[in-house]
């Protein structure tokens, strides 16, 4: 369904008025807009909007940081459990299982004596990286010391009162920076088997502009790419990955943001008043409950994943209410941000940017339940938490692979 193009002024007016007194503050709503500008504005994004996206990325990152804490993670886990999703933790294990054979293969093929550069986007307190190292420890311990791990995490610099990290290697929650928690995880490996490690405290948008093309062999990310608002991120990744590299991502996907109408049932679940929902529908020129007609155009798998996402958001909202926290209202703003792109859009964007979407090259696992591990049709991407691997399509000319200029931290 085609949207009427909107000007920036119209969008700003909408942000100012419609949500002025709703549970959603303009910051996160603005982020939704900038994430989905292409879909929601019905036109291409211009340069000034792109600059704005970068600013919004930083602002909304800071805003999320203020709101989330280890209690938020507890509620997320409970909501995942209730609807039978394996969630971040399970996805990390699957990601690790997928990435290790690529690492071994790459090491076997490489003639030059240099480390395999594994770049992680959004490493948080290191669970994704640790899952990979754990899997390597089981399968190819020796290979670890041939790896250079570069972990990107904007929160490295932050330690705050509410940043209580419940880490499995400590007794009870503690207050420590993500970088320290990750360092402790790496220290669990015998000294001679630790990887070279470069932690980078920055957001994707600015860090990627500073590194040289083709410099990463393997790029991984666990539940973080949906936080990246730059709609060109696949092009950036294609530029920075080695020609024989591979990307392995685990993330959340949803169709919800592919059309503004699809968000209406969720706004109801979040108990936004009917009057405001009507305003929202008016702004986008939607008929009342138009989402029902939009959904009719979806294949059953897409409807299923849409329902899964709604159900997940609803459960999470209920969890927060049950907890009755004073911070609940603010936390509830987070709910809309799990999964920003749909799976089919993601694969299409990757293909446009120069990754192979050839079925033989894509490995993809839907996480329908903790026990079922299926290979499935990537074009119909149905489940909201999915792990997949993509390789770059071959280019004619090969570029050299210079080192990223970053300091190495002793661990």
Residues that bind ligand SAM (CB under 6 A): 57, 61, 88, 92, 121-124, 127-128, 152-155, 203-205, 222-224, 227-228
Which is nearer to ligand SAM, 256 or 286 (by Cβ)?
Answer: 256
CB of 58 to ligand SAM, least distance (A): 8
CB of 72 to ligand SAM, least distance (A): 10
Which is nearer to ligand SAM, 89 or 351 (by Cβ)?
Answer: 89
CB of 127 to ligand SAM, least distance (A): 3
Which is nearer to ligand SAM, 92 or 342 (by Cβ)?
Answer: 92
Alpha carbons 128 and 224: distance in angstroms, whole number: 10
Alpha carbons 131 and 277: distance in angstroms, whole number: 42
CB of 380 to ligand SAM, least distance (A): 25
CB proximity list for 374: less than 8 A, separation 6 or greater: 365, 366, 368
> 221 in the Ramachandran plot: left (φ > 0), alpha (ψ -120 to 50) or beta?
beta
Which is nearer to ligand SAM, 134 or 283 (by Cβ)?
Answer: 134
CB of 130 to ligand SAM, least distance (A): 9
Give the residue carrying structure tokens 């909202």. Answer: 317
Q: Give SS3 for 254.
A: coil
Pair of tokens at residue 187:
């220290």
Which is nearer to ligand SAM, 14 or 204 (by Cβ)?
Answer: 204
E strands present in 208-339: 216-222, 241-252
CB 128 within 8 A of CB 159: no
Which is nearer to ligand SAM, 294 or 384 (by Cβ)?
Answer: 384
Give the residue carrying structure tokens 């040289």. Answer: 212
CB of 17 to ligand SAM, least distance (A): 28
Alpha carbons 64 and 14: distance in angstroms, whole number: 22
Residues 72/230/378/139 CA torsion (nearest 10 deg):
-70
């Amino acid at each position: 369904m085609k949207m009427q193009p909107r000007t920036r002024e119209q969008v700003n007016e909408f942000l100012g008025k419609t949500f002025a007194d709703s549970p959603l503050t303009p910051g996160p709503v603005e982020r939704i807009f900038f994430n989905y500008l292409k879909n929601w504005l019905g036109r291409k994004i211009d340069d000034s909007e792109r600059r704005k996206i970068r600013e919004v990325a930083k602002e909304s990152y800071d805003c999320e940081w203020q709101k989330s804490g280890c209690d938020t993670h507890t509620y997320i886990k409970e909501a995942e459990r209730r609807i039978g999703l394996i969630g971040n933790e399970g996805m990390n294990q699957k990601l690790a299982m997928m990435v290790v054979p690529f690492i071994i293969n790459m090491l076997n093929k490489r003639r030059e004596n240099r480390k395999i550069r594994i770049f992680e986007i959004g490493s948080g307190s290191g669970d994704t990286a640790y899952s990979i190292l754990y899997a390597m420890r089981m399968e190819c311990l020796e290979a670890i010391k041939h790896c250079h791990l570069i972990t990107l995490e904007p929160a490295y610099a932050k330690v705050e009162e509410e940043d209580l990290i419940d880490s499995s290697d400590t007794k009870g929650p503690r207050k420590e920076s993500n970088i320290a928690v990750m360092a402790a995880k790496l220290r669990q490996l015998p000294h001679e088997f630790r990887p070279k490690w470069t932690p980078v405290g920055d957001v994707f948008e600015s860090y990627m502009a500073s590194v040289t093309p083709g410099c990463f062999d393997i790029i991984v990310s666990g539940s973080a790419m949906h936080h990246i608002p730059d709609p060109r991120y696949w092009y950036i990744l294609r530029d920075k990955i080695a020609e024989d590299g591979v990307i392995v991502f685990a993330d959340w996907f949803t169709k919800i943001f592919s059309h503004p109408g699809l968000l209406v049932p969720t706004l109801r679940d979040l108990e936004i008043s009917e009057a405001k929902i009507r305003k929202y529908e008016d702004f986008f020129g939607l008929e009342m409950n138009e989402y029902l007609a939009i959904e009719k155009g979806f294949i059953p798998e897409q409807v299923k994943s849409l329902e899964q996402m709604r159900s997940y958001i609803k459960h999470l909202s209920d969890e927060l209410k049950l907890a009755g926290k004073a911070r609940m209202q603010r936390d509830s703003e987070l709910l809309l941000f799990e999964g920003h792109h749909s799976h089919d859009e993601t694969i299409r964007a990757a293909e446009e940017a120069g990754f192979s979407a050839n079925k033989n090259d894509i490995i993809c696992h839907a996480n329908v339940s903790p026990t079922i591990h299926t290979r499935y049709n990537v074009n119909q991407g149905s489940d909201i938490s999915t792990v997949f691997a993509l390789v770059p399509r071959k280019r004619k000319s090969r570029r050299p692979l210079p080192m990223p200029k970053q300091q190495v931290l002793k661990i």
